Structure 1
Amino acid sequence: MFYNWSYTNRLAGRPTERVSGIYSRLEKEGCFHLFRNGWEVRGKDAEKFLDYILTNKSPPPGGVSSALMLTRKGNIFSPVELFHHDQFRSEYLLISDPERESRDINWMKRAASELQANVEISGVSEYLASLAIVGPKSRAVLEELTKSDLGFDQSAAKLMRLDAVPVLA
């Protein structure tokens, strides 16, 4: 269970259980859903910078990989998902847990400054939402929301639409 402000400090009048129809549908289909936060890292040294702070090498354009963000001493700092945008060779999207957002971006900016890396790091959670739908019937649930082909590899990033909303899947 993920704990953050919304779970532990409910404001008066807010529902204490899920009221949206999507939650019961996802549970019925055996899917699990997560909401995550993200950052964009871009610039001439983006790949070199990410290879320094993450355990895995950066994926090729259009690829996705899981990695651990490390401290200078090699300790685990945070788990992340790394998306390499297919339209730019030096633009990456990192997704992590919401409760780590400010800590992670501060660490990345400090590491970039110490390395003197030519990168721009910006939070994208204000205008970009992340929803993970996983489970044995997750593709069947998504097929009802999109006309896009869902036959792509799970380690690939693809631009598509869910209903009328553009997404990076």
Structure 2
Amino acid sequence: MNNFKVTPLRGEYEKSGGKVVEFCGYEMPMQFKGILHEHETVRQRAGLFDVSHMGEILVKGKDAENFVNYLLTNDVKTLTSGEVIYSFMCYPSGGVVDDLLAYKFSEDFYYLVVNASNKDKDLQWILDNKNKFEVNIEDISEKVAQLALQGPKAEDVLQKLTSVDLSEIKFFKFKNDIEICGKKVMVSRTGYTGEDGFEIYTTPQDAAFLWEEILRVGQAQGVEPIGLGARDTLRFEATLPLYGNEMDANITPLEMGFGYFVKLNTEDFVGRDALLKQKENGVTRKLVGFELLDKGIGRHGYTVVKDGKEIGHVTTGYMSPTLNKTIGFALIQGKYAALGTEIYIKVRNKELKAIVVNKKFYSKKTQQ
């Protein structure tokens, strides 16, 4: 008997042939018909993901906006109601606590969506930094189920289930209290695949009904359930980072090359001093893309070498289903980060030749 948590959609997996694994303390589907098939389904048509394991934290009160801005590296004060922003939450050292999405309902109401693996840690970090801010913080993760419909056919399929004009929900926008299949939900358009798509936030009680209806209506357009395996290959091709791989407490957003989401010219936030100093001095490590020239795959954690010296490690590596190339991300010493530089990945007892390439492997098709 295991003690893993389950999402409200746990009972739906076997209906579609889901193979279940432990992930972040939950029983989640790794794949249904196969990772390559599911990857192509999302790229060509649309796929439905259970992401109910993600964490949702509310920040309310008169200081909500100032508090969220203090926690995050990005500037939430640029948002208007109904907009979403991607950001990092950092330690004073500049290392990453987590990356997350912040939904702005109003200046006194923010909705934070955090990674499942970090939810408890994030919640404690938020509470520990509350200080004198007048805010109320509530973890509503157990009250929320989340479905993600991703792919070029996503809008066509979901539009059949609602009277709301989904084209009005632009990229990184959301609408609350709209009806899908007669159920009141919140719908956003952010995505983690590089394709267009929607996130549907609903109650645990309505999750299975919505899952079944989306698959039923979407069947004619090839919509299928998608597991964690394809979720990872899809996000990787689209240069979307994963906590524990491309970032952690010892890796900063600047080293990752994600400085766009770090607004150093704004008011103070946790980690600002360290990140400002790092920017002024220049980063000594950089996250790069690589293409493996020799046969093999550079997996997460594999050592990267140059001239017999260790210069970094692989953060993610796959045979790209879309590009049909063996590619990856690696965090390496900055002096070796120039495009075209030859590096070597240690795979077991061999050193496989690779070349540094642009890490934007796949052009996103998300609606702008």
Quickly name the TM-score band, shorter chain normalised.
0.7 to 0.9
Aligned-pair distance for 1:32? Answer: 5.3
Corresponding position: 1:89 with 2:104: no
- In structure 1, the residue corresponding to 2:142 is in which secondary structure? coil
What's 1:108 paired with? 126
Aligned-pair distance for 1:154? Answer: 1.7
Aligned-pair distance for 1:17? Answer: 6.2
Corresponding position: 1:145 with 2:165: no
- Counterparts of 1:1-169 in structure 2, within 5 Å, are 3-7=23-27, 27=41, 29-31=45-47, 33-35=49-51, 36-58=54-76, 59-85=79-105, 88-113=106-131, 116-152=132-168, 153-159=170-176, 160-169=178-187
Question: Could you list the runs of 5+ residues in structure 1 that have no partner in the other structure?
Answer: 9-14, 19-23
Against the structure 1 CA distance between its residues 34 and 76, is the aligned structure 2 distance closer, same or farther, given a 3 Å change threshold?
A: farther
CA–CA distance in structure 2, aligned partners of residues 81 and 133 of structure 1: 17
User: Percent sequence identity over matched residues?
Assistant: 25
Question: Partner amino acid for 1:77?
Answer: V
Question: Highest Rg: 1 or 2?
Answer: 2
Does the 8 Å CA contact 1:37/1:130 hold for their aligned counterparts? no
- In structure 2, the residue corresponding to 1:126 is in which secondary structure? helix
CA-based RMSD = 2.6
Question: Partner amino acid for 2:97?
Answer: F
- In structure 2, the residue corresponding to 1:40 is in which secondary structure? strand
Aligned-pair distance for 1:56? Answer: 1.1
Aligned-pair distance for 1:3? Answer: 2.8
1:47-105 per-residue CA deviation (whole Å, 9 max, x = no partner) reads 111111111111221111111111223221111111111xx431010112222111110
- In structure 2, the residue corresponding to 1:142 is in which secondary structure? helix
Aligned-pair distance for 1:108? Answer: 0.4
| TM-score in terms of structure 1 length | 0.78
Does the 8 Å CA contact 2:58/2:137 hold for their aligned counterparts? yes
Question: Partner amino acid for 1:94?
Answer: L
- In structure 1, the residue corresponding to 2:118 is in which secondary structure? helix
> Larger relative contact order (C-alpha < 8 A, sep ≥ 6)?
1
1:94-126 per-residue CA deviation (whole Å, 9 max, x = no partner) reads 11222211111000000113xx11111101112
Question: Partner amino acid for 2:143?
Answer: Y
